Structure 1
């Protein structure tokens, strides 16, 4: 067993995070026992730090795997977008052709480390107060819940391991738990973490000095909210978690966060800084101990270079245009009066829109009078390029313009639009000022609550939790108020509310990776991802002619794409170790047998 512990620790200490701790003083042969780790204060903290860092970092490129964007590299031979759009992905090649690779192994490595920590800290002789040990334990439970959440939203039900595996572990007993069973485990882990005091000697709300990125109570509540919302959704619902139960958990999560200082970011910027609070939020740092940014709950996404990797050809030093917003997404942005600009299409290619007469939308001036979030998220033909020069350069996506549409150049838009969200207009070669994707933020909690509440109680019925009394409509309207949009009206039917709610979620969380998972859990992938459209603009004198067009059909919308495949090498290892089952019945996800 001692030999096993030595081998286990060799991998456990790989990549140890030492930013906030002294470097581990390892013996010269690199070996150290678990007893030695958990009897030393710095080594114990170091091991806990090594439990962090296994969450796949959200990034703007996932939009290109949804109906939010068509990637400009769809013309680059061998690109992952050509493979994905063609539906030519297998369980063996998924990792190199997907948005975040194949994170199965990394997430289970994080879980293994959390298990080792939780098991050993119980009897650790390390000289530390019980309060500090409690705080460490709460972090490990929250992290483990987070890793399991990231697994199930990608792979569905997975094996649950709550203790380190011994050398005598019987792999033939391992099985994939159901999605709902893993959610139950996630909720239990979060509740365990939340059972500790809301202080530094437990799981606090506050983010203390040098504690950025550490688990907090808000993270635990956000994990619970997302997990139960997914569990009640059509793809995963098995009766264990209905919408009423989801509403109960979502209401508590939202109420607790609001009661403890979380707020939607509403700082109004000067006109030469950003278009509105929504725009400013995405390139404002979240590393401020919630002094200004009180909306971010957990931020693991790296700072992006939108100007370089999703840029316009007129940006010096740009390399590619990346995810180009689709016409489908642009159509989803309502008018500023709250009306949808179009109510549908009269052709199967979605190139002939049915105009909503009440909206004020004009086909010859399609970008006027839209939701303020449109201007914060999309560069369109005629958009002001530099906010400090409102009468200066305008973006030219028309044929022949400086940023013209192209179907042969990866440095030009494929759809007629460029990504603006996360981008500070001042960013460039000498000023990396773009933002990043938050993994969890308060707006999602409002929307999760709204989704479960309209399903379980109706759009207008208040739900109470603590000091909170809020209806689904109230929750959505809180998000829309920050955006400068009129609220949902009173008295909507459940079906009408659902349609408008899903559109609101699409807009508020655009390019933040939610769309990829939302259309899957709602089981509408075959409706949203068959193809996308763009807008080709030509200039005639001083006038513009707008013509919608359809891209080639995509082939990544069948039911097998509802879940990631488990990497085939992992499946082979599982079958080899367990000696039971067959990959098609027990381990590999449906449709991914190569």
Structure 2
């Protein structure tokens, strides 16, 4: 479903009513009537296609990774209040629905409910329609999936939310209270089960399939089984409505079993596989394979894709990952730059931890690392693409330069890709790193926008969900089997057979972090695992100095921006506008 374009204007307002004035009953010539839309399969499909446009994607100028311990928003586009726990019901910073920066509008409460309303309008009209073709049935399955997706996002951000399953009219009571977290999960799962029963097992991966529905069920049940939603409000102080922010009955073990079953249902479909298989044969092959995983229009690992929306393609802030995140020495902007914390979490290629206190590793920190490091990160000395014409003379080989070079007189010349360099010096990374993942090196991103799809979901996540559920159930041997599938594809050794307990859990969590970096997961993971107070610390980077006459630099870690954590940040606040509109809403704890 490339380049979705809205081809209809839909009006869902009340029609004019007149007793005698027939001239008022004229059918408009510039739009389709409500009745016409719901009798025309082509218009119905166009309507559903428009709902897909609300799915969040990670190619914006500020990524969700920048609100975690994986990346840094270079320009501080109102993201700092998030990572400093400074937002409140009157000020959600970049999460605000009307924020000038569009990066997170599809995560906002009003927009998510707008999309849910569109789903409900479709479902209400199709329930009363005489159209019964297989295509219409499939569209109903897609809309059930989409409603579940939007509710899943709301619940992951806010906990229990108002459950609205019909399009409100002026006669309805609009003051819907929040449902319990448990009821929200049940609602989402039912929509996904109903969708999976209707949807084809495979097909166009830009539209929901049975696999996508079961995959989202795997994700939301994995989230729901996690510590945050099973803590009975232990992170709050005297909050009286714990049923809104997690489970208050049943057992976490039951929920891990449900998550495991959901993930196994996807695996048992037998239609997905890891891209490139699980035996790359060499480190170079593993690097190349992981790069190519994201530089195509679909492969056997993909479960749901979102293609670039060309409606606003000429706007400066429309999806453009190469320009937004590439090195400033290529006339790119260096946004959402990897943090030192993420870079340091990549293991050595023998499976041991990287450690700046290890003198051998500190001398050459970018050698002998996990192959995914080279596929995901641009670091000082990395070979990248050819420089633009006006920079080529200064670097004919296309080598990333984030260090400083000492001169004979003791002064320093900054590298081309530093913030002090001669090119785009108002951009550039503070951390000394840039993103390699997702970026097509064959394109000059200064002028050309790549149109590769965003992976909403891929099979590797399902395998990790299954492994996590196994760990939650104490089934460590089985968990290792699935973790090792991911590691083997990446060219990494198996988890040691002797590893167990919290050490194994920590290994798994790091594996998930590396495999799914920049894929809109880490923001939620550090919260649902309740590790945010320990990991959302001051943002780190690296200082690289080349002594005069030497090609071997020295490295030191640095702090580049302050961050802080308050427990209220496990969930977002409901905006004050929503609270004012609906007296039955209860605010989240801490706000």
For the Cα contact (< 8 Å) 1:244–1:453, is it kept in 2? Answer: no
Q: Distance in 1 between matches of 2:186 and 2:354?
A: 42
Equivalent pair of 2:471/2:479 in contact (CA under 8 Å): yes
Unaligned runs of 5+ in 1: 1-7, 14-24, 197-202, 287-292, 343-352, 461-470, 576-580
C-alpha change, 1:308 and 1:231, in structure 2 (3 Å) is same
Report how far residue 221 of structure 1 moved.
Answer: 0.6
Match of 2:208 in 1: 215
User: Per-residue displacement from partner, 1:482-536 (whole Å, max 9, x unpaired)?
Assistant: 1111111224222111010000011111111111111011112111112121110
**Displacement of 1:544 after TM fit?**
1.1
Q: 1:96 aligns with which of 90, 94, 97?
A: 94
**TM (normalized to structure 1)?**
0.79
Q: Deviations over 1:14-57 (max 9, x none)?
A: xxxxxxxxxxx9733757344x4333433433443344322222
- Residue 108 (structure 1) aligned with residue 113 (structure 2): yes
Map 1:191-230 → 2, pairs under 5 A: 191-196=193-198, 203-207=199-203, 211-230=204-223
Q: CA deviation at 1:422?
A: 1.1
- 1:27 counterpart residue number: 28
Pairwise CA distance, 1:175? 1.5
SS of structure 2 residue aligned to 1:369: coil
Alignment RMSD: 3.2
Q: Which residue of 2 aligns with 1:18?
A: none
Q: 1:295 aligns with which of 301, 305, 322?
A: 301
**Alignment partner, residue 468 of structure 1:** none
The Cα of 1:230 is off from its aligned counterpart by 0.8
Q: How many residues align?
A: 515
Question: What residue in structure 2 maps to residue 441 of structure 1?
Answer: 458
TM-score by length of 2: 0.79
Are 1:55 and 2:55 matched, yes or no? yes
Partners of 1:410 and 1:247 lie apart in 2 by: 51
Give per-residue Cα distances to partners, 1:298-332, cap 9 Å, x unaligned.
122648533321122221x42x2112211111110
Alignment of 1:229-268 (within 5 A): 229-237=222-230, 238=247, 239-240=249-250, 242-257=252-267, 259-266=269-276
Q: What does 1:296-335 correspond to in 2, within 5 Å?
A: 296-300=302-306, 302=308, 304-315=319-330, 317-318=331-332, 320-335=333-348
Contiguous gaps of at least 5 residues in structure 2: 1-8, 15-25, 97-102, 231-246, 310-318, 405-412
Q: Work out whether 1:282 is the aligned partner of 2:270.
A: no
Match of 1:154 among 157, 169, 190: 157
Q: Deviation of residue 363 (structure 1)?
A: 0.8
- Whole-Å Cα distance in 2 between the matches of residues 324 and 511 of structure 1? 10
Change (3 A) 1:241 1:45: farther
Q: Which residue of 1 aligns with 2:11?
A: 10
Q: Show the counterpart of 2:493.
A: 486
Question: Aligned partners of 1:436 and 1:142: how far apart in 2?
Answer: 19
How far apart, in 2, do the equivalents of 1:226 and 1:166 lie? Answer: 33
83 and 187 in structure 1: CA distance in 2 versus 1, 3 angstrom threshold: closer
Q: Describe the SS at the equivalent of 2:121.
A: helix
Query: What SS is found at the alignment partner of 1:72?
Result: coil
CA distance in 2, matches of 1:133, 1:31: 19
